[in-house]
Amino acid sequence: MQKLLNFAIASAALFTSSLALAVPFSGPDAFGYNGSDIAFGLTDIRTSGTNIGLDNQDDGSFTNAIGFDFDFYGNIFTETHVSTNGFISFGANNAGKSGCCSGDPIPTPGSGLDNFIAGFWEDLNPGNGGSIRTQTIGDVGSREFIVGYYDVRDFDDPGSSINTFEIILHELTNDIEIQIFQIQFDDVDDKTVGIENEDGTDGIEILFVESSDPNYSNGDILIQNQAFCFSTGGTNCGQSTSVPAPATVGLFLLGLLGIKRARKTKA
C-alpha cells in the first residue's frame, strides 16, 4: 500500500507540474492568437525533407510552396520565404529577405521585416554546418508544412552555438507550432522567437535576448526540449492541455488513504 501511496503522491506532483505548463504563456494578441506550451517532439525531416539549397549559404532565402492555403493574421498564403537566419515570412515584399543579421523585439513596426514566424531569428549560417529542410506531410485536410533547421551553426560563434528547431504550419486550423530541441546564445546578435503581423504592430514574443545581455555567455542554452503553439481557435496544434485538476488528485489521494484505514480496521 505504501508503494501505491508513493506513486500517487509522485503522480500528483507530476500533474501539478503539467498543469503549470498548460497555462498559456502569452496572448491573446490584438488579432486573437493565443500561445501555449505543448509537448516537445521533433518530426525530424532531415532525411525525408527537401534540400532547398540553403545548406551552404549565409544570409540566403528560398521561396517554398506550402502545399495548402494557410491563414496568417487574416491573410491567405500558399507559399512562404524560408531564411537561413531562422525564420519564415510571408508576402511578396518579403521575397529574398534574409533578415540579416539580428532579431528584433516583437512587435516592432518599421523594422524592415514583418509578417514572420521566428523559430530562432539571429545570424545563423548553415555554411558553417547544419541543414535546412522542408516537407509537407499528412492527408488532405490535416496536412502539416514543416521547415526544419538541424544543427545549424551561428555565423560568429559556430563552435558553441549549434541550433535545432522546427516551424510547423497546420492545415485548416491554421495553427503555428515551434518545436525547439536546442537554441544557444552568442554575444554578437540579438535573438527572437515568436510571430509578428504584416505591419509590425501586433504579435506574440516567446523570447527576445539582446547580444549584450549580461545573464548569458557564449554557448549558454536559451531554450531546450520545448514546444509552443499559436492558435486562434483553441485547437492547440492538435494537442490537449487538459490535465487532472488538483482537487481531483486530492480526492484520489484521500480515497487511497481511506482504503488503507479500512484495511487496518478489518485487520
Q: Which residue has the cell 507530476?
A: 14
- On average, the pLDDT of the chain sits at 85
The residue-averaged pLDDT of 25-41 equals: 90
So what's the pLDDT on residue 163? 98
Burial of 90 (0-12, 13-18, 19+ CB in 10 A): buried
Name the percent of the chain lying above pLDDT 70: 80
Nearest Cα to 121, choosing from 96, 104, 145? 104
pLDDT of 180 higher than 80: yes
pLDDT of 259 higher than 50: no
- pLDDT band of 45, cuts 50, 70, 90: very high
Per-residue pLDDT tens for 49-104? Answer: 999 999 999 999 999 999 999 999 999 999 999 999 999 999 999 999 999 999 99
pLDDT of 171 higher than 50: yes
So what's the pLDDT on residue 253? 41
Sign of the Cα torsion 20, 149, 92, 141 reads: negative
pLDDT of 9 higher than 70: no
So what's the pLDDT on residue 66? 98
So what's the pLDDT on residue 266? 40
Q: Under 8 Å CB-to-CB from 243, ≥6 apart: which residues? A: 15, 18, 19, 22
Where do the DSSP E strands lie in 84-231? 87-89, 116-121, 131-137, 144-153, 162-170, 176-184, 191-196, 203-209, 221-231
Q: Under 8 Å CB-to-CB from 144, ≥6 apart: which residues? A: 43, 136, 137, 138, 168, 169, 170, 171
Angle, helices 2-22 vs 246-266, to 10°: value is: 170
Q: Characterize 210-239 residue by residue with b for buried, 16 or more Cβ atoms within 10 angstroms of its Cβ, and e for exposed.
A: ebeeeebeeeeebbeebbbbbbbeeebbeb
| Dihedral angle computed from the Cα positions of residues 88, 92, 93 and 95, in that order, rounded to the nearest 10 degrees | 50
Q: Characterize 18-55 residue by residue with b for buried, 16 or more Cβ atoms within 10 angstroms of its Cβ, and e for exposed.
A: ebeebeeebbebebebbbbbbeeebbbbbeebeebebb
- pLDDT band of 221, cuts 50, 70, 90: very high
pLDDT of 185 higher than 50: yes
List phi, psi (to 5°) of 113: -140, 120
pTM of the model: 0.82
Domain ranges of the chain: 25-243
- pLDDT band of 179, cuts 50, 70, 90: very high
Using an 8 Å Cβ cutoff, are 89 and 97 in contact?
yes
Q: Got the DSSP string for 26-42?
A: B---SS--EEEEE----
- pLDDT band of 240, cuts 50, 70, 90: low
The residue-averaged pLDDT of 149-158 equals: 97
The residue-averaged pLDDT of 174-178 equals: 98
Which 3 state secondary structure label does DSSP give 100? Answer: coil
| Cα diameter, the chain | 79
Per-residue pLDDT tens for 192-206? Answer: 999 999 999 999 999
Name the percent of the chain lying above pLDDT 90: 76
So what's the pLDDT on residue 238? 87
Which 3 state secondary structure label does DSSP give 168? Answer: strand
